Each structure stands twice: as structure tokens, then as C-alpha cells.
Structure 1
């Protein structure tokens, strides 16, 4: 071969690492009662970074699901066919308990350990996280109907992935989906027109159309439909107890920007059978707990995406030379990488804190429940928004190499906007912040109590907290409050992240965050950390042992 084909100055494949080799993640586990799960998280992280799982991820993305509406004789099938790699990813996620372990094994730190696993595993492949998250979120909603929960919850919490169309109560494990969105409604589910009529035996027959049904291959779905009492939540199985298929007609799969390994569909219900969950006419109240659980996973997933993008950028720049030195040693690139690292850690520490708040609220801590309500609404807005910008900058660190599919960066880039849209886009999340502030004053009290734990540690944080109080004091007029909703959500998140980093991270990371995000010495793009930032210390913390050894 001609010498012109000799390969040099290219980064080696990034493989054989652990996604759990992450100081911010492990410190959160130890700090908030999840230390008992560290070994499991580390084991899962090593699997996520293995060549085998990386190949599963690549194959699941390259071979998206295929809808088969009919067989060759014209009979309805309504089946979604997946590449075997998808099932391997799903089996590993279920076996590790990401889908429901905290509900089956109640112990302190259970939701935090589960969040850490979801964070570590999502860095391998994000698409299959949708049905995993839906199943996790379905259990608390289903508990609104105790007799259904008694029958289905043990199977939803089973660590056996049992794929296939069979009566759900005869399977070894179940996956749950969610079906709320309609063409005319979007996030406004009260505009739904799908109807449910009593069948006379405790079940209902549902007729209507859903514009977005998550994970249509799931065993059961939580569905919203209108009854005489109003919007009501229902549990709908794919296969009925007698073995016949429910009248769930899959119209087409969505051709999406990202999340391509996962199926999202349009569905027609032709008198499909379902059972009510919760009080008739109170479907939104019933489903809101499921939405809150999946919103937590949006924050965790965005943090995971940031960490994955940062790792790729660090790896590439540590092995690529330009102008006589490795890119990672070039001052401007160091600023970019450190800025990405600060953003990533801020997202991670917030996601894990919200998971810890869920643990404590489940144990009856009202202040933690209030903090979670406000922190989750604001964090869903800001962290998911930052995910897209972070992915774009991380991709750019690889230059043209990052723009080609083989790098994996385009997949990461396409995936990032989904988490801003899923379970309510930016405006919906920001307006939820206003709703919590207006209706739950204890949430703001719990928020400032948490932020106040870092009082006096950094003057920029103290000033930002004071400014936030002033901003919140201007929200008496509803219209002006809506106009300011995004700014409020952003500042709530940044101040909380600053408090967490000041208390729990290294001085270099905390100082960089407070100087840039809170002190105002920051530009409009990544790579504008102020002079005097200890870039070396920030990068040292961000680079895993595997990455440092590889460099």
C-alpha cells in the first residue's frame, strides 16, 4: 500500500472504558446513601463501555425498528420488529433493575442507585432508555388502582426481559408504555378527544387516535381518554387475557430526527379494551406522577449525554496533534474542554441530587418532596436545553471526524433535543415552574434552604441567590411572570447547581462555575471561561483514569 495511506495523528478507538469512572457520580452515591450500590454501578459502567455493548448500540441505531401492519394474507399484525441488538440492550437494562428496582426493593438510596445506573447505561445507547423509563414511571401511577397494581406491579418490577405478544399476566416480566398525545393537543392533554365507554364488566372500550405513543411494542400502556366524568387514565394491554390481540392499530412509525433505535408510533384504537386507573375524571392527576418520573429521567439522560460527549472530546484531543502539540494542551481548546466539563458536572450533580430527593420524599420527608417538585421542573428546562448546545460543542472538538457517523457524535447530537421536548418542551417546563411557585410556597422555602447550605462560601453564589429572590419578587403580574418564566427556571437551576458544586465538587470546578454562570464573566459560547480559571484542575477531574492512561 502506498505510504500516503499510512494512518497517523488519529485517535485510537475509544473502547474498553467505564462510564461509571466519574467522580461526580460516585461521590453522589457515597454522599446520599447509595454507596451500597456502587459495585453494581461500576459493573454496569464497565459493560456500557465494552466493545460488545458499543457494537449493540451501533447496530440498534443502524437497523431501526420496522412496522408490520399485516401478514401476507391480509391479517392484522401490528407488530414492530427490532434488530437483536435492541433486545440485548433491553435485557441488560432490565436485568440491572433500571426499569423498576426501587419499587420492588425498597431501601434507602434505591432511586439514587437506579439513577446512577440509568446515567451510566444511557451513555451506551439512549434510544432504548424510553421504554425503560416508561416502565419505571408506570408503577407509581398504577398504584392509584391497588387491585391492578397487585396484579401487574410484580411483573413490571421483574428483572426478566420477556419480549413477545402474549397475555401480560402470563409473562415473566413486562414493559410499559404511555399513550397520551393527540394531534390537536400536544402537551394540552385536556384537549384529547379519544373516548372511553363502560363495557359493563369493569372494563372500558376506547376509541380514538394517538399522535405519539411511546414504545408501541410494550406489553401494557397507560392511556388517557374522555369519559362522562372527564379525562381518565386507563391501563391497556397489547394482548387480552384470553390471548386475543387488543384492537390497537399501529398506523405508522414516526420518522424522527434522533432516537432512531426506538419506535414511536401513531395508533388507532378501535374499541380497545382497558381498565380505569385512579379516580374517573382525574386522569391528569393520575398520570402526573408518571410524567414527573420520566422528567427526572430526562434530566439524567441529558447529563449522561453531556458526559458521553465530553469523554469523546477529551479522548480525541488527547491523541490529536495540531501546530506542534496535542490539542488538549492548546490553551483555547483547554478552555473549551474545561467549560464542557463544568457544564457536565453541574448537570450530573443536580440529577443525582434530585434522585436523592425522590428517595427521601418516598420516605416521607415533605421538604425533600417540595424541593424535588421545584428543582425537577426547573432542572428539566435548563439541563435539557443545555444538552443540545453541549453536544454541538463536543462534536466540534472532533472537527470533521465528529461530523461523520462512524464517530458516534452525530447520534449524540440528534438525540439531545429529544429530552427537551419529551414530557413537555421548554415552555411547558418553565410554566410548570411558575405553577409550583404559585401553588406550593413550601417548595420555594425548601429550595432556598438547600441553596443556603452553601451561604458564605462564595460571594458570587450569595449575590446570585439574592438576585434570584429579587427576580421572584417581580412575578405578581401573571403575564409578566410568563414572559419571565424561562429566565426564572434558568436562574433557579444555576443557583442550585452552584450551591451543589460549591459544597461537593473541587474548588476549581466550583470556582469556574460561579465565575462564569453566576458571576457573569462568561461569553455566549463554550470556551469562554474567565482568565485565572484553573483549567488544569478542572480537566484533571474530568478525565477518567482510562482516558488518562490512554493518553
Structure 2
């Protein structure tokens, strides 16, 4: 038999490296006050780069969760079964504090340290990050009911993953979910029809009846949800298991068949007189739960930056080991343009994500100016960075040619995942309009935003010109809502450009020339002639 299957000119598996060996990440970690966590970050990064961990990500995605509504005798059980790989990923994430641990850690930079670990571990497998993110985000909202917070916050922040249906107060650690949207309203949660009726007891409980179109991570221990109470739309905490050990009347109707995020269960559920605890005041449910939404929006930005980094590294790895037309792909001029452009986008996303994580950390410690900055900058960045995720994933996939279209490369999973983070927590229009709302209602957020931008004033003429044009655009109130996307895109770009210039990033000049200077085509790989590609590619290549 002829030797037809000698394998040559193929990239080896991308394993055995430290995922945290990322210059932009480490610089952001120190810049935003969490340098003290670098050693533990590298520990997690080395674990994330192992062959075993990479295999866990594959197994969790290929063995999707299964809904079991009834047992063999016809009793409702409403259980979701997961592959052991999912649980191992969750256990690592919780034990390393990627969930609510920062709320019990008073060290400056705790939220930044957590963001860095999310960025590293999320490159293994994106789906299980959803319940981790919601557990992080639930805490500020829960504090609107101090009695509930006193019981549950320590368990939410505990570094123990304790899966299973038991009364939450008796578990070693808790995971939280969110159940907001309904089929008739989506992001317009004020149209929710789920009803909450006071139960009449001394504990201030309510009974909830209604249908929820999307419930993320339905196997969680606790959920925040919105329902119409006598005083208007209100926020409630619902446990899956009641304090007496009986199951709350939360019925799982079906799991959603999603484009991506396959390892994570998302469900339609029915509240059939489910018991809930009021969080905050009646009629102020949206205001109460928005604290949670703002934190999950931060994680959408972090998740997109994470995916961009993962796509970039895979593209660089492949092209470094693949030759065509007599030379390694990575050394060929046009491919270097593409890789450098992907690197610029990735570094810009990472840099702004960690600036926002730093603002979140400082705002949580009472810094009002940082909270003002975060209010507008997060809406702006969530819109733009998450919009760039899918096109970045598509170009990174293409760097692998036909190999990138094959499931075993991991690129299709990355590509399917990318659009979700733009949809989650308010799709593009919702995020853009939220930025417009912040500018109209909170002028201090506009001042804080431009104060940040102005820190780079005079350092780059292209940036200065773009800021001037943006201010002119904001001064024109004609058809303002119609132009919102264009305005918010410009705001996001000048913010990214300003940060890269301020911090002296190797990507700053290429970013300003291409994203702000107008010397850029409509596809990746159209950086202007003369761009120094070596430092851009080397920052992505040195760990391989």
C-alpha cells in the first residue's frame, strides 16, 4: 500500500502553553491595580493551556446538557444533566474566584484580578462562563434586600462548587441565574406579564405565575427575575429549592436550541405559583436589576476580548507552522497585514475591557467619577467591541484556510459563539440607545468620558481630529436617534485610540492610522503601507 498519509506541513496542537502570557493582559492587570494577582493568574493560565483542559472544553461542547422533566414514575423533576467535563470546568472557575469572590475581597483591584482570570479561563470554553458571570453580577442587586444578602452573599462568594438540588442555605456554595425576558417583550421588560402576588406571610414572600422566554443557567440555585407586582414591575429572588427542602414551583419547559454557547443550558420556564422574595421596592424592579445587567455587560466586553485573543493566537499559531509558496505563511507580507490587523483589534478590545474593569473596581469602592465614566463608557464599548467580535472570528478562521472550517480546529465553535455577546444584555440598538440615554440624563458621564479621552490630547493628530469631529457630531441634534449607531461607534473608537496612545501601546499608531485616520479598507488586512508589523505579531507569538 502506498504511503499516502505522511503528515507534513500541519500545525501541531496548541497546548502546553501559559494562556496568561499575554503582554496586553499583564500590562492591563498592573495598570488597573491588580498586579498582586499575577502569580495566581499564571497558575490558571498554565492550567488553561494543558491538553487535558482543552479536551474538557471540547467535551463540554460536544456533549450538550439534557433536560429531564420527569422521573420514571411521572413525577416532575426539572433537572438538567451535564457532562462531567462541564462540572470540572465549573469547579475550576469557582475555586479560582471567577464568580462572586471579589465582593468578599477588600483588596484594591479585586474585580480586575477576577476579570483577568475570566479572560484567561474563558479561552478554554465560553459556555460555562455564563453562570459564572451571573453569580458575579447578582450580588449588588441582591444587596437591595439586606436580609437576603446576609444569608446568600457569603455562599455566592464561596470558592466551592456544590452542584445539586438542595436548600441553598445548607450548601457550601451557590450559583445564580437570571430570568428576565418574556416572549412578547424581549428587552422591553416593562411589558412583562408574569404576576407577583403577596403571599400574606410575615416573611414578605410573593407567589409568581407566568412564563419566561429565556432563563439562563436553569440549574442554578437562585434566580433574579422580574414580575408585575401590585406596585409595578418588581425584582424578586427565587430559589430552586425552598428552605424546607421542597422544590419551588419552577417548571422547565424546554432547553433552547442555540447557534452557539452549546454547553450552557438556556431554558423556557413556567412559574406556577413559585415562591419569590422581593428585592428592592415594588415598582423599582428595573432599577434594582440594572446593577446586575451592568456587570454582565462588562463580562460581554471581556468575553469578546477573550474570544478575539483566542482567535488571534490560533491564527498566529497556524501560520507560524504552515508554509505555502516556499515560505511560512506568517512571513508573507499580506498574511502579516491580516495578522497585524487582527492583533490591533484584539489589543484595543483588551485594553478598553480592563480599563472598564478598573473603573468597576474603583466605583465599587465609592469613586463617583469612575462610576460616571463607567456608566457611559460601558454602554459605548459594549455596543462596539461586541459588534467587532463576529467579523474578527471570521477573519481569524480564514487564516487557517479550509482547516479553520473544520470542527477539530476549534474555530467554528469560536465563530458560532461570537454573535452572542452582542445580543446578550441588550443587542446593538439597546446598547447604543442606552449610551444616548446616559448622555441625556447624566451629563457627568459625558464629562468623565471626555476627561478620559483628553488625557491623550495632543499626542496624535488623527486622534485629536476624530475627537473634534465627534464633539461636532454630538452638537448636532438633528435626527439624533437615527444617527446613534454612528455616534456611539465614533465614541468607542476614540476611547480605544485614546487608551492605546495614553499607555504607549505598540498598537497605537496602527490603530489611529487605520481606525481613526481613514487609511483602512473595509476588511481586516488593509493596514496602510509602512505599518511596522513585527511588534504587533510578536506580542501574540512569543508564547507559542
Task: Give the structure-1-normalised TM-score.
Answer: 0.98
Residue 435 of structure 2 is matched in structure 1 by 433
Tell me the distance in 2 between the aligned counterparts of 1:227 and 1:423.
Answer: 23
Counterpart of 1:538 in structure 2 is 536
| Structure 1: distance between partners of 2:453 and 2:3 | 60
Tell me how far 1:505 sits from its aligned partner: 3.9
Residue 337 of structure 1 corresponds to 339
Contact 1:177/1:214, CA 8 A, preserved across alignment? yes
What residue in structure 1 maps to residue 29 of structure 2?
29
Give the aligned partner of residue 236 of structure 1.
238
1:20 and 1:503 map into 2 onto residues whose CA distance is 23
Residue aligning to 1:208: 210
2:159 corresponds to which residue?
Answer: 159
**Structure 1: distance between partners of 2:121 and 2:488:** 28
Separation of aligned partners in 2, 1:368 and 1:541: 30
Q: Structure 1: where are the runs of 5+ without partners?
A: none
Please give the residue correspondences for 1:105-504 in structure 2 after superposition, counting only pairs within 5 Å: 105-201=105-201, 202-474=204-476, 476-477=477-478, 480-504=479-503
Cα deviation digits, residues 310-348 of structure 1 (max 9, x gap): 000000000000000000011100000000000000000
Shift of 1:228: 0.8
Rounded to whole Å, the distance in 2 between the matches of 1:423 and 1:310 is 25
Where structure 2 has 5 or more consecutive residues not aligned to the other structure, the ranges are: none
Q: Secondary structure at the match of 1:5?
A: coil
1:42 and 1:492 mapped to 2: Cα distance? Answer: 34
1-structure distance, mates of 2:448, 2:392: 30
**In structure 1, distance between residues paired with 2:417 and 2:496:** 24
CA distance in 1, matches of 2:267, 2:115: 27
| Mapped partners of 2:137, 2:420: distance in 1 | 18
Contact residue 177 and residue 216 of structure 1 kept, 8 A: yes
Q: Distance in 2 between matches of 1:380 and 1:35?
A: 25
What secondary structure sits across from 1:112 in the alignment? helix
Cα deviation code 1:205-253 (max 9, x no counterpart): 0000000000000000001000110000000000011111111100000
- Cα deviations across residues 156-215 of structure 1 (Å, max 9, x unaligned)? 000000000000000000000000010001000000000000111111100000000000
Distance 2:88 2:540 in 1: 30
CA distance in 2, matches of 1:364, 1:100: 18
How big is the shift at 1:45? 1.2
1:546, CA displacement in angstroms?
Answer: 2.6
- 1:52 deviates by 1.1
Q: What is the CA–CA distance in structure 2 between the aligned matches of 1:343 and 1:100, rounded to whole Å?
A: 29
Describe the superposition over 1:130-153 as per-residue Cα deviations: whole angstroms up to 9, x where unpaired.
000000000000000000000100
CA distance in structure 1 between the partners assigned to 2:101 and 2:155 by the alignment: 11
Q: CA deviation at 1:101?
A: 1.5
Q: Distance in 2 between matches of 1:442 and 1:223?
A: 30
Runs of 4+ in 1 over 4 A off after TM superposition: none
Partner Cα separation in structure 1 for residue 44 and residue 521 of structure 2: 37
Asked if 2 retains the 8 angstrom alpha-carbon contact of 1:138 and 1:222, the reply is yes
Structure 1 residue matching 2:193: 3-state secondary structure: coil
Please say which of residues 533-542 and 137-146 is displaced more in the overlay.
533-542
User: What is the rounded CA distance, in whole Å, between the counterparts of 1:505 and 1:384 in structure 2?
Assistant: 24
Paired position in structure 1 for 2:508:
510
Cα distance in 2 for partners of 1:365, 1:270 equals 43
CA drift of 1:268 comes to 0.5
Q: Deviations over 1:456-481 (max 9, x none)?
A: 1111011111111111111x34xx11
1:100: how far off?
A: 0.9
| Deviation by residue 1:101-153 (Cα, 9 ceiling, x = unmatched) | 21011210111111111111100100000000000000000000000000100
Write the distance in 1 (CA, Å) between the matches of 2:469 and 2:327.
43
Partner residue of 2:88?
88
Q: Kindly provide the CA deviation profile for residues 40-80 of structure 1, in whole angstroms up to 9, marking residues without a partner as x.
A: 11111111111111011000000000000001110001000
Give how far 1:364 is off.
1.7
- Judged with a 3 Å threshold, the aligned counterparts in structure 2 of structure 1 residues 104 and 2 are, in CA distance, closer, same or farther, namely farther
> Secondary structure of the equivalent of 1:174?
coil
8 Å Cα contact 1:468-1:492 kept in structure 2: yes
- Equivalent position to 1:526, from 524, 527, 533: 524
Distance 1:256 1:203 in 2: 34
Q: Is the 8 A contact 1:24 1:505 kept in 2?
A: no
In 2: Cα distance, 1:509 partner to 1:299 partner:
19
- Aligned equivalents of 1:421, 1:97: Cα separation in 2: 26
Distance in 1, Cα, partners of 2:396 & 2:277 = 46
User: RMSD of aligned C-alpha atoms?
Assistant: 0.8
CA–CA distance in 2 between the matches of 1:188 and 1:505?
A: 42
Aligned to 1:67: 67
Superposed displacement of residue 284, structure 1? 0.1
